[in-house]
Amino acid sequence: QRAEWALLKDQQSTSADGKTFVVGANIGSPKDLPAVLDNGAEGVGLYRTEFLYMESDHLPTEDEQFEAYKAVVEKMAGKPVTVRTMDIGGDKHLSYWKLPEEENPFLGYRAIRISLDQTEIFRTQLRALLRASAFGNLWIMFPMIATLAEFRAAKQIYTEEREKLAAAGVAMGDVKLGIMIEIPAAAMLADKFAKELDFFSIGTNDLIGYTMAADRGNDKVAYLYQPYNPSILRLINNVITAAHKEGKFVAMCGEMAGDPVAVPVLMGLGLDEFSMSAPSVLQTRSLMKKLNTADMKVLAEKALDAETNDEVIALVEAAVK
Ligand code: PEP
Ligand code: MG
């Protein structure tokens, strides 16, 4: 099987009937790039920049960040790199920057909520990203967006920094701007967001947790962490349908994107990009080649109309033999 996958390294990701998808990889630092390239990923669908902050003993300076982002886009040589602005908070802590203790950290002060509150830190990161954008194909997305107001505020700050750099004569690339869909509120309003951004990236790790109100790390409620629950699939479908109506692109960068049970359904729902841990890339490409999009559309429709997580698993097993 591994030998069969290796042959797919330099191939496109197409279904049996020739529909093309993008299969990308997730990274936490420039050190992860060899695995991305060795596995033939077509881009970086999620660069988790908080590791830059977590591995440092001080807030990374603009130049330190610039060097890291530039290294990544240069090594990817024109392939798209989607960089997520830092997602600190929740379970991610920094020794040098004390955030308030909270009773519910996962419902609290994290990610874009911090960035919009401590805007100097956010502006520094955006400047580093904009400068790096001159060296490759860089996209930027904001994590944990719940409301249109948050996205508009983040975009406004981004636009101000872009204009200041342009006035100073700094070279920059065309940057696509998007949000992560991790909060059900944003998934439900995807049609409104779609008019104002370039792309979505669905973060199913958090989206499932917030939709089912269940922490995967907690054994007592782990049974509620149900990726194929039709409620989750309907949220995903809502995002894809709304985005495509506006001609916008939809990626997924949560674990679900590389899950062989989910991939057939996601193909049927029309997801554009699947971004996963690098070792899953070739396996996913191989699976895609065996599946027909017309059949997967029928499967997806049945899955959306199903009642339970287990029913969807059975539908996938019957459709993919
Ligand atoms: C997600 O929530 O699915 C995601 C990709 O973000 P993270 O796993 O970093 O929270
Ligand atoms: Mg997340």
Please give the span between the terminal C-alpha atoms of the chain, in angstroms, as a whole number.
Answer: 16
204 lines ligand 1 (CB under 6 A): yes
> How close is the Cα of 224 to the center of ligand 2, in Å?
18
| Confidence category of residue 3, pLDDT binned at 50, 70, 90 | confident
> How close is the Cα of 205 to the center of ligand 1, in Å?
5
pLDDT > 90? residue 1: no
Are 141 and 199 in contact by the 8 Å Cβ rule? The answer is yes
Distance CA 42, CA 45 (A): 9
Residue 320: what residue type? V
Closest atom, ligand 1, to C-alpha of 201? 5
pLDDT > 90? residue 174: yes
pLDDT > 90? residue 92: no
> How close is the Cα of 123 to the center of ligand 2, in Å?
21
Are 203 and 181 in contact by the 8 Å Cβ rule? The answer is yes
For the chain, what percent of residues have pLDDT higher than 90? 93
| Other C-beta atoms lying within 10 Å of the C-beta of residue 192 | 13
Closest atom, ligand 1, to C-alpha of 26? 5
277 lines ligand 1 (CB under 6 A): no
Distance CA 294, CA 23 (A): 20
Closest atom, ligand 1, to C-alpha of 203? 3
Cα within 13 Å of Cα(240), Cβ side:
19
Distance CA 30, CA 16 (A): 34
